[in-house]
Chains A and B, each alone.
Chain A
Amino acid sequence: MTALVGLVVNPVAGVGGAVGLKGSDGETTQRRAHRLGAVPRAGERAALALAELAARHPEELRLLTADGPMGAEAALVAGFRPQLVHRPGRRTSAWDTTATVRALRRAGVRLLLFAGGDGTARDVLAAEPGCPVIGVPTGVKMHSAVFAVHPRAAGETAAAHLSSGLPVHPREVVDLDEEALRRGRLGARLHGHLPVPELPLRIQQRKTGATTPDPAALGGIAAELRTFLPPGELLVLGPGSTTHQVAAALGAETTLLGVDLLRREGAGLQPLATDLGERELLDRLAGRSAWLALSPTGGQGFLLGRGNQQLSPAVLRSAGRSRLLVLATEAKLAALRGRPLHLDTGDPALDAELSGHHQVITGFRRRALYPAY
């Protein structure tokens, strides 16, 4: 029997990521992102998921979606001939998302793929899709537990579910207050649950808050980090409370959620520029070598592709794997419950290049060997 699969794409999801806006909610943010040169990637990532689905599920599929950037474009790129259930206006909005989901429910889809971030997940939840849902991650942070770890994993999970019916469990839709976030305050709220098919290691966990502060461990990580950086060396520091506190231990005030550029001076670090976007990073690093220090997202284990899209494939290639330093306390690694670190740079070749075992700095003269893929 032909399976009916629904798709909805939020074309502006994630547009703020690479330019350092920490989210894409709100029209003002989206306009600002465009002014800063942001390129929408949601459609491209949705197409990746669909291509994976088509490759793994050769039986006949009928794809239902909205017109234009809300689904049809991605479907055509992936080789589908979609049936349209909604026509959005020139400027899409949350209303278009909910209208599309409701139309898909009425059409009786068996599975819904949505491409977006936490805000899109909230819109899907509000529309009550009435079938299992898989999020194609195209947002900035994505703290909800309804997303695949990367677009191809979304396609793989969808194919497995259509072929053999995976177990479906309710998973959390969580969102941060982006306005507060841009002012450096963190606050998450649980909005509800969506039914998600479970394929081990393909669906991400909910982001957890900072693990219990362990000043001794963070101080140890800071001391170990310093051993990599002779005076004058540049360091690009990724977002999050771990990197923020490590920098503080080395005397540097950094942004909690931005990507910052620092230089080793004396016994500590000196900030050179804070809250940089992809373009600014590329400009500042042109022709210079720099170390890159990142910490995985708590409970999820994302090293790249969640909340740090400023570190684009171009920026990452300019640093190189050998200059990538991963920082995490033992407690933070333990909280991953044995799950690997995830890579979702948007460039599958780069993900493959960066995959394998990474030495994670867990303290002074202490490392852990931890897999990433």
Chain B
Amino acid sequence: MRITLSPIQRRRLQNFRANRRGYWSLWLFLILFGLSLMAELIANDSPLVISYQGELYFPIVQPISDETFGGFLPTEADYRDPFIASEINDNGWILWPPIPFSYNTINYNLNVPSPAPPSAVNWLGTDDQGRDVAARVIYGFRLSVLFGLTLTIASCIVGVIVGAIQGYYGGKTDLLGQRFIEIWSGLPVLYLLIILSSIVQPNFWWLLGIMLMFSWMGLVDVVRAEFLRARNFEYVKAARALGLGNRKIMFRHILPNAMVATLTFMPFILTGAITALTSLDFLGFGLPSGSPSLGELIAQGKANLHAPWLGISSFVSLSVMLTLLVFVGEAVRDAFDPRKN
């Protein structure tokens, strides 16, 4: 595949790079996101590598039974067990990840009642169930971004398709579509979620599906407007005169016009999706309990005002993430602005 950037795309890329704040925000965000994708290597309750009696084991890749290290149980070894740990250390060594806790690992060796304040073991302290906050923030960040990305991409696809159909065909299709959207957007999303979460136990995909039902409408208007405008362009007429089918005309000739609006909106939809998930988690209607979620951490911070490390960590991680995304979004928007030189 040959990638040739048309001059206009080159100019946009240049504009984006020229916006240093947005450019560095993008890199910073990508680095953070990349790191969080490797969360299992950074924060885990299993060691990365174990050398035991001259052999190497990788507990992260495959579970290793207790019996291997001289225990009695056929289940997976618990490396926090002092017996196993000393057994391995006598016959080899253990390489732990920087944070030796996963998001759901409960630290039973606390000297203070949980939530425990930050210490050398738990860098950001623990929450009220004794789970390491740093690990939960890393996993929560990853989950939020992944959820936001999936929701954004899915709602972009649905929104662009619906907007394209409405704008291209116009007339009755457009009229009915617009009225449907008006009614649909009038539904109280939060109540629906509360009702639905009492019927099914919401997991990642349930939440995604429910939120997608309402989030696709954001893009419809801009894409529809772009298609309404572009369907009367002469090159679109020329394509029709050549005998090109509707779908191809929409895809090849009009969609590129609408992509500018779509791409400009995407970072903002992403932040919106992350915020929505966080607020649902905060209210307790989000992901099942025990999942690493920033919203749940905020809720804990609210419930435990005497443990400020809970509120502060969740606040800082959320605000850094959203600020970076908004900066990126602004830079993208400016890069696509035709009036900017």
> Is chain B found bound to chain A in the same assembly?
no
Could you tell me which A residues sit within 8 Å of B by CB distance?
A: none
Could you tell me which B residues sit within 8 Å of A by CB distance?
A: none
